[in-house]
């Protein structure tokens, strides 16, 4: 209201000043002409003609000034109406209706089960109340009979995230960690056909491949062909989705896919993005174009995760904002909790989940910060847990289908520690107790999980449609991961120049 009054007063002032200035100019000119007439009485006709021309010129200037003032008045009226519309609605909807070719969300919405992330951002207070055991969430309750008719199907997905260039050089990171992880993967998966694992970063995988003999390469191909080892996303790296130019995102994806096709003869169909700081629909569009149909994301603002968990929309069809058809849809799973490590993947209580991270058994380098360590699974304690993976039934209440994906981080470079994960979990899976009949758990890949989810969708489970992006990422309180948007400008510029040279 104050802005509209100020603009109205300003417009009126401009109009008054313009009129008074013209009036004063006319008065001075008339006075000058009168004086000249008194000095030259014989040139009366000529003077009157000159005076008439000047008056006509002033009238023209005054007409132009009136049109200018009228335009200013109309602009003020339009701005006032726009502000009033913005206060009553969304602020931008009025302008959007005036833009030719602009498609409104209301016009392309095909059903009530659709989520517009801009609307969600306007809806949420972005506060961070204490949610109890799940600090950034809420208390999850269940009766225990939800799966009497249809057992809960759980896929435990072993994975290992390796960051090229993080803290160490690429080669040092590989020698210290990645090489041993992949060596152990080949051994442990070959020992038991029930064991499975996924891998994403092809830059490291290709380096490891170059260092193994032909016999091991054939073993890797057998594991891939049998579905025990799945290559997910297939990019050279797990690309950033905020700063990266689309050419860089596409180029690293092509590099990885060409290597996979040339050496393994397969094509990735699922995406795995657990460490980019926020997620872009542009990356989802590129993955869809590359032949992927499903993907998993992790680093999303904790308030958005809480909202999606409350609405049970963590599994959704991610659709491009400009597309009114489902041709750009990609099925997406959003992890609901803080991180992708074991304490934050099996359920809402990290202190309980940490007891199922057998990489943290007493005596190792890594321990549970909640001071309740895991214990090796034995015949005596295997029946104590009502479910194979502790609080998994609680986590399942955040999803619409009786199919659940539980990531199992296996980043240890030590062979003994990796064997503990597979061995202890298999004992939990194999325990035949009546209390666990409602939960069927096993190792799986992303393709295993999404195939089971697709069967549930075909049987009647509906997934919502989501439009928009998941920026800016915050993992707690007001800790927004946005500084890297503008930091290190020299290296960002150098990166763009190198990309242009590649193109």
Sequence-separated (6 or more) residues with CB below 8 Å from residue 98: none
Sequence-separated (6 or more) residues with CB below 8 Å from residue 452: 153, 155, 403
Encode pLDDT of 425-443 as tens digits.
998 888 765 455 678 899 9
- Taking residues 203-232, what's their average pLDDT? 98
Query: Catalytic site residue 275?
Result: yes
The whole-angstrom separation of Cα 495 and Cα 490 is 9
Min mean pLDDT across 120-129, 205-214, 227-236, 330-339 is at 120-129
Q: Which residue has the tokens 């590359």?
A: 290
pLDDT recorded at residue 144: 76
Encode pLDDT of 38-84 as tens digits.
554 555 556 667 767 777 777 777 777 777 777 766 776 776 666 66
pLDDT recorded at residue 98: 41
pLDDT recorded at residue 66: 72
Element (H, E) at 405: strand 403-409
pLDDT recorded at residue 158: 96
Min mean pLDDT across 142-146, 225-229, 326-330, 482-486 is at 142-146
The whole-angstrom separation of Cα 406 and Cα 386 is 17
Decide if pLDDT at 108 tops 60.
no
Taking the C-alpha atoms of 238, 244, 248 and 250 in order, what is their torsion angle to the nearest 10 degrees?
Answer: 70
Give, as one character, the DSSP assignment of residue 165: T
Q: Catalytic pick from 119, 275, 323, 475?
A: 275
The 10 Å Cβ neighbour count of residue 411 is: 17
pLDDT recorded at residue 92: 41
Question: What CATH number has the domain spanning 115-497?
Answer: 3.20.110.10
Top-confidence residue, 39 or 381: 381
Mean pLDDT of the chain: 85
Encode pLDDT of 435-464 as tens digits.
556 788 999 999 999 999 999 999 988 999
Confidence of residue 6 (pLDDT cuts 50, 70, 90): low
Confidence of residue 101 (pLDDT cuts 50, 70, 90): very low
Decide if pLDDT at 167 tops 50.
yes
The whole-angstrom separation of Cα 205 and Cα 265 is 15
Per cent of the chain over pLDDT 90 is 62
**Distance in angstroms between the alpha carbons of the first and the last residue of the chain:** 53
State both tokens at 167.
């803290």
DSSP assignment of 149-210 equals SS-EEEEEEEE----TTSSS-HHHHIIIIIHHHHHHHHHHHHH-TT--EEE--HHHHHHHHH
Q: Is 472 helix (H, G, I), strand (E, B) or coil?
A: coil
Decide if pLDDT at 89 tops 70.
no
- Taking residues 172-194, what's their average pLDDT? 95
Residue from 166, 165, 159 nearest 182 by CA: 159
Residue from 155, 35, 37, 81 nearest 395 by CA: 155
Top-confidence residue, 394 or 97: 394
pLDDT recorded at residue 415: 53
Where helices occur in 192-342 by DSSP H, the ranges are: 202-210, 214-225, 246-263, 281-289, 302-311
Beta carbons of 290 and 271 less than 8 angstroms apart? no
- Taking residues 23-31, what's their average pLDDT? 62
pLDDT recorded at residue 350: 95
Sequence-separated (6 or more) residues with CB below 8 Å from residue 450: 270, 293, 294, 331, 333
- Taking residues 489-495, what's their average pLDDT? 93
Decide if pLDDT at 25 tops 90.
no
Longest dimension (CA), the chain: 131
pLDDT recorded at residue 212: 98
- Taking residues 261-269, what's their average pLDDT? 97
Beta carbons of 329 and 318 less than 8 angstroms apart? yes
Q: Is 473 helix (H, G, I), strand (E, B) or coil?
A: coil
Residue from 180, 256, 253, 190 nearest 224 by CA: 190
Left, alpha or beta for 115 (phi > 0: left; psi -120 to 50: alpha)?
Answer: beta
Decide if pLDDT at 252 tops 60.
yes
Min mean pLDDT across 117-131, 333-347, 384-398 is at 384-398
Give, as one character, the DSSP assignment of residue 195: -
């Amino acid at each position: 209201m104050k802005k509209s009054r100020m603009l109205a007063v300003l417009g009126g002032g401009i109009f008054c000043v313009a009129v008074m200035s013209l009036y004063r100019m006319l008065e001075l000119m008339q006075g000058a002409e009168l004086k000249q007439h008194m000095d030259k009485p014989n040139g009366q006709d000529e003077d009157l003609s000159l005076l008439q021309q000047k008056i006509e010129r002033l009238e023209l200037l005054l007409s132009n000034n009136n049109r200018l003032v009228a335009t200013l008045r109309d602009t003020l009226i339009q701005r006032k109406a726009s502000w009033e519309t913005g206060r009553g609605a969304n602020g931008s909807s009025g302008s959007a209706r005036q833009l030719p070719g602009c498609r409104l969300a209301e016009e392309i919405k095909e059903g009530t089960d659709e989520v517009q992330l801009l609307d969600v951002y306007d809806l949420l207070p972005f506060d961070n109340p204490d949610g109890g055991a799940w600090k950034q969430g809420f208390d999850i309750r269940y009766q225990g009979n939800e799966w009497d008719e249809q057992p809960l199907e759980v896929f435990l997905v072993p994975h290992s995230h390796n960051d090229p260039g993080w803290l160490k050089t690429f080669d040092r990171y590989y020698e210290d960690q990645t090489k041993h992880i992949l060596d152990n993967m080949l051994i442990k998966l070959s020992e038991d056909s029930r064991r499975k694992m996924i891998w994403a970063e092809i830059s490291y995988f290709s380096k490891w491949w170059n260092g193994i003999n032909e016999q091991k390469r054939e073993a890797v191909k057998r594991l891939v062909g049998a579905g025990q080892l799945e290559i997910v996303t297939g990019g050279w790296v797990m690309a950033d989705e905020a700063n990266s130019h689309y050419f860089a995102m596409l180029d690293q994806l092509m590099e990885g896919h060409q290597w996979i096709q040339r050496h393994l003869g397969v094509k990735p169909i699922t995406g795995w993005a657990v460490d980019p700081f926020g997620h872009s629909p542009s990356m989802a569009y590129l993955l869809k174009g590359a032949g992927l149909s499903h993907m998993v994301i992790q680093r999303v603002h904790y308030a958005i995760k809480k909202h999606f968990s409350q609405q049970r929309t963590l599994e959704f069809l991610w659709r491009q904002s400009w597309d009114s058809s489902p041709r750009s849809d990609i099925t997406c799973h959003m992890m609901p909790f803080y991180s992708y490590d074991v304490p934050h993947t099996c359920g809402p209580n990290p202190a309980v989940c940490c007891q199922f991270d057998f990489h943290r058994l007493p005596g190792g380098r890594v321990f549970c910060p909640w001071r309740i360590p895991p214990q090796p699974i034995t015949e005596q304690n295997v029946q104590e847990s009502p479910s194979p993976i502790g609080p998994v039934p609680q986590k399942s209440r955040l999803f619409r289908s009786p199919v659940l994906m539980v990531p199992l981080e296996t980043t240890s470079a030590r062979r003994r520690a990796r064997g503990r994960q597979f061995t202890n979990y298999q004992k939990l899976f194999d325990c035949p107790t009546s209390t666990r009949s409602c939960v069927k758990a096993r190792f799986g890949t992303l393709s295993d999980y999404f195939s089971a989810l697709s069967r549930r969708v075909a049987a009647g489970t509906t997934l919502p449609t989501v439009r928009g992006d998941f920026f800016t990422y915050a993992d707690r309180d007001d800790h927004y991961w946005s500084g890297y948007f503008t930091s290190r400008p020299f290296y960002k510029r150098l990166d763009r120049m190198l990309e242009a040279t590649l193109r």
